[in-house]
Amino acid sequence: MPVRPRQVLRATRLPATFALLLTALTLAGAQPRPVTPRGPLDAQEQNNIAVFRKLSPSVVHITTLAQQRDFFSRNVTEVPSGTGSGFLWDEQGHIVTNFHVIRGASAAKVTLSDQSSYDAALVGVDPDRDLAVLRIAAPREKLQPVPMGASKDLQVGQTVYAIGNPFGLDQTLTRGIVSALNREIESMTQRTIRGAIQTDAAINPGNSGGPLLDSAGRLIGVNTSIYSPSGGSNGIGFAIPADEVNRVVPQLIKHGRVIRPALGLTAGTDQLRQVLRLPKGVVLIGLRPGGGAQRAGLQPFMRGRDGRIVGGDVITAVNGKPVGDLDELLNELEERQVGDKVTLSVWNGGKTRQVQAQLTSD
């Protein structure tokens, strides 16, 4: 027998008391839930917060500018060309960043953590170490230098922090560990930067030039690059060690460049060394008059009047430490001062002799 509509309504109608109860429960669920107390932050969280609060005022955002000429009016204007990070070095307004951050720029602006901006003047650069120093004229009370640390006693596994401006986002903190030490990375001049710190703290485009800090908030490195086929942070970042930064930056502030100890020589290519079947080392093809190598009596390879190559010297070691090419020789010399004397192992015609040479400025 078919069911009549009146019977259907009676079957689905809710009792009045049940409907009121359902309404009350619905209204109760629409109210904000009480917050569950979480208790104190753990020690790691507290340190994260403390480091960021203390050091973020020391980190700056750098915007580089490039000149652009209007095609029709021929007027020249400056337009943003890139961004990066940096940090306050001292109370005189000196700012440290990477050379590649400001490379090719016609001008730069520095934005502090309080969003005040200042025109930056270029003080000095060291492309071989990918470091640069700028200076701003900001009020003293806004200049809070990053505390200086050391990199020589770092250990794999230590906690590190990176503060910077990845993708133009101001004041970003990432945390990780020292994942390896004594790495070698290549600067924009193809010189090897030795002793680089490897970290898994996220270092993205825009972090370059920012500080790498230890858990005490001290500078232990300058973030400079990532290893990433995709260009994003894949867990391997590199920083220039603080000991190297502390050696280079004062020279950039004082001289505008790094005054390196040198021997005053010109080296041949590795291809030339292989063609001539010479041992690994620095093949001399030129000497600067008055330089340490010339005064020590070293002889370069040269061509005779008949066009044939006349044999010369190959530097194979410095103070007993082998050097396989010019880059390794320069790295050894940079650990010394102008005026120091070094003992060179010099190969010539199958025989090796020891020569003492005094280092001059480059």
Name the residues annotated as catalytic. 100, 130, 208
Q: What is the rounded distance in angstroms from the CA atom of residue 283 to the CA atom of residue 360?
A: 19
Q: What is the rounded distance in angstroms from the CA atom of residue 349 to the CA atom of residue 329?
A: 21
Integer angstrom CA distances of residue 103 from 133, 207, 224: 12, 16, 14
Q: What is the rounded distance in angstroms from the CA atom of residue 117 to the CA atom of residue 130?
A: 24
Residue that is written with structure tokens 């980190």 in the block: 59
Element (H, E) at 130: none
Q: What is the rounded distance in angstroms from the CA atom of residue 244 to the CA atom of residue 221?
A: 9
Query: In the structure encoding, which two tokens stand for residue 326, read together?
Result: 């010019």
- Asked if 65 and 79 touch (Cβ cutoff 8 Å), the reply is yes
- Cβ atoms within 10 Å, residue 3: 8
Query: In the structure encoding, which two tokens stand for residue 230, read together?
Result: 């995709």
Query: In the structure encoding, which two tokens stand for residue 357, read together?
Result: 């040479």
